Structure 1
Amino acid sequence: MTEWLLSIEGTETGRLLAMGLALLAAFSHAVFGALQKGRFDPWLTRGAIDANYALMAAPFALFVVPWPEPHMWPIFAGMMVIHIGYKLLQAMAYERGAYTVVYPVVRGTGPLITVIAAGIVFGEHFSALQWLGVLALSGGIFGLAAFNLTRVNIDPARLRAAIALAFATGIFVAIYTTYDAYGIRATANPFTFLAWFFFLDGLIFPLLALRRFRAMSNRPNLGALLKRGFIGGLIAYISFGSVMMATRLDKVGEAAVLRETSTVIAALIGWLVLKETVGWTRGLLMAGIALGAIIVEFGG
């Protein structure tokens, strides 16, 4: 499997597989975001998710995949710092604002900065048509956030804090996407990076969540929380693992843009599964996001 993946890097087969992986990441990320913002405190949910995927990854990291090369340990250390910052900001944003407002702001900020960063770090360059697609996608996502703002009733100061934190989280999304792409390309075996990523990334946040859990006077049901964490851990492998592998096989910027169609998928899930009303405005914005992604993928 590893040899085959390495053999298709930079080929048309690799490009098509990367596109499929990025779209798979988009679907799973929409589900992942809803899980963290769901019925439990977002800090506790994230802690439960991280604990589960660290435990799942441990045997693979320690006993199955080749051990990381010496130069990978500083890369993993930087990765942990970046992802802790991202998760802290995301939890604080979800704590203060509605999911339908916070999530689109985070996802709209990420691709704009990632495309610029990928150009600097990896020498990737988008055509003018592709840049038009990026602007259409991010504009549509921000439009969804603005539309959803009219549907929430929240204290203005709290709302401003939530949006500011969402923008900061989006910047960290761009940073970790670019950095993780660098990391997964720096090791000979991509599965070594993935196994150690999930093992190391899941070690810190459960400790923060446990401290928060112990301080609560009204603690949630631990069994239900851990069950959600287990499901979230499985989804995390699909969501984060897919997009990281896509950035190894093909362009980082294109993978990042395709992943952000998760906002459309989240809205479609709400419409088809939860029977929410989409309406013409949201429908047109979703179409703009999808069109932008198509332009980026095929406009090069």
Structure 2
Amino acid sequence: MSLSLGKGRASTSSILFALATGAIIASYATVDAVGVRLADHSGAYTAWVLVLYGSLLPATFMLMRGELAVDVRSPETWKALGGGLVAMIAYGVVVAAFALGPAGPITALRETSVVFAVLIGWLFLGETLTARRIVACGIVAIGAICLGYQS
């Protein structure tokens, strides 16, 4: 929520969007945690979720935007493929963790990925690393550290 602050006070809409994002994260984490436990096998659950998403997303794109063209000669296509593979592996790891432990700390640790997103944006995409972003990343990192010291 600290990132929702503009140059002064946070607008109501930005706070509501931040809260909605948190609710959505809690929802999909709960669905995944319950789903993998009911499925009794994290690999099968992960595969079915990826098959369903992998079918629905292109279909939705084509329904809303028309033809889906993929140029296999484009470097951007290969970057997207690589990013997709990394995302699939990361999702599988998180689902496997849900099968082994409590969902709350796993979800909180999963969301530390925003720190890596900020670093990737700064290092590779030329985004500005502002004091506000550094503080927000610090808060996330401190939260993850505190989770490690729970008894």
3-state secondary structure, aligned to 1:198: helix
1:130-279 → structure 2 map (5 Å cutoff) = 142-146=1-5, 149-150=6-7, 160=13, 164=16, 167-214=19-66, 222-223=70-71, 224=74, 227=78, 229-279=80-130
3-state secondary structure, aligned to 1:268: helix
3-state secondary structure, aligned to 2:66: helix
Provide the C-alpha distance between the structure 1 equivalents of 2:66 and 2:56, rounded to a whole number of angstroms: 16
Residue identity over aligned pairs, in percent, reads 33
Provide the C-alpha distance between the structure 2 equivalents of 1:198 and 1:274, rounded to a whole number of angstroms: 28
User: What are structure 1's unaligned runs of at least 5 residues?
Assistant: 1-141, 151-155
Give, as a single letter, the amino acid of the residue that structure 2 aligns with 1:193.
Y
3-state secondary structure, aligned to 1:204: helix
Say how many residue pairs are matched: 145
Change in CA separation of 1:207 and 1:247 when aligned onto 2, cut-off 3 Å: same
Q: Aligned-pair distance for 1:287? A: 1.6
Contact 2:42 2:95 (C-alpha < 8 Å) held by counterparts: no
Provide the C-alpha distance between the structure 2 equivalents of 1:180 and 1:170, rounded to a whole number of angstroms: 15
3-state secondary structure, aligned to 2:86: helix
Q: Aligned-pair distance for 1:178? A: 0.9
Provide the C-alpha distance between the structure 1 equivalents of 2:38 and 2:117, rounded to a whole number of angstroms: 33
Give, as a single letter, the amino acid of the residue that structure 2 aligns with 1:282.
R
User: What are structure 2's unaligned runs of at least 5 residues?
Assistant: none
RMSD: 2.9
Kindly report structure 1 stretches of 4+ aligned residues shifted beyond 6 Å: none
Contact 2:33 2:103 (C-alpha < 8 Å) held by counterparts: yes
Q: Aligned-pair distance for 1:181? A: 0.8
Give, as a single letter, the amino acid of the residue that structure 2 aligns with 1:261.
T
Higher relative contact order, structure no. (Cα contacts within 8 Å, ≥ 6 residues apart): 1
In the alignment, which residue of structure 2 is the partner of 1:8?
Answer: none
Q: Aligned-pair distance for 1:255? A: 0.7
Provide the C-alpha distance between the structure 2 equivalents of 1:287 and 1:165, rounded to a whole number of angstroms: 21
Give, as a single letter, the amino acid of the residue that structure 2 aligns with 1:287.
G
Change in CA separation of 1:143 and 1:163 when aligned onto 2, cut-off 3 Å: closer
- Report the TM-score, using the length of structure 1 for normalisation: 0.42
After superposition, what is the alpha-carbon deviation per residue over 1:57-76, rounded to whole angstroms, capped at 9, x for unaligned?
xxxxxxxxxxxxxxxxxxxx
Contact 2:109 2:144 (C-alpha < 8 Å) held by counterparts: yes
1:19-38 → structure 2 map (5 Å cutoff) = none
